[in-house]
Amino acid sequence: MLNDGGFISVQVLNGVTKLLRRKRRLSWPDTHNILTVLRVLLTVQPNTLAVHTTGLCLAERYRLSFTTR
């Protein structure tokens, strides 16, 4: 699925880092390796007001949950 490309936000990369380190207890080198693969396969998008606004519109249109943690 990831071979087809796509997008990932910096916020999601941060969340993946937290999950890998705290929940999965991966080492820093293993965590870096996984993050590198994600950054190579996906286009990383910064969190901007435009991204936030688009997210709101998509959540409303498709009745998705819109939460932040």
Give the span between the Cα atoms of 4 and 17, in whole angstroms.
23
**pLDDT tens-digit series, residues 14-32:** 999 999 999 999 999 999 9
Q: Looking at the whole model, is its pTM more than 0.75?
A: no
**pLDDT tens-digit series, residues 2-12:** 677 899 999 89
Residue 45 and residue 9 in contact, taking contact as beta carbons nearer than 8 Å: yes
Give the span between the Cα atoms of 38 and 32, in whole angstroms.
10
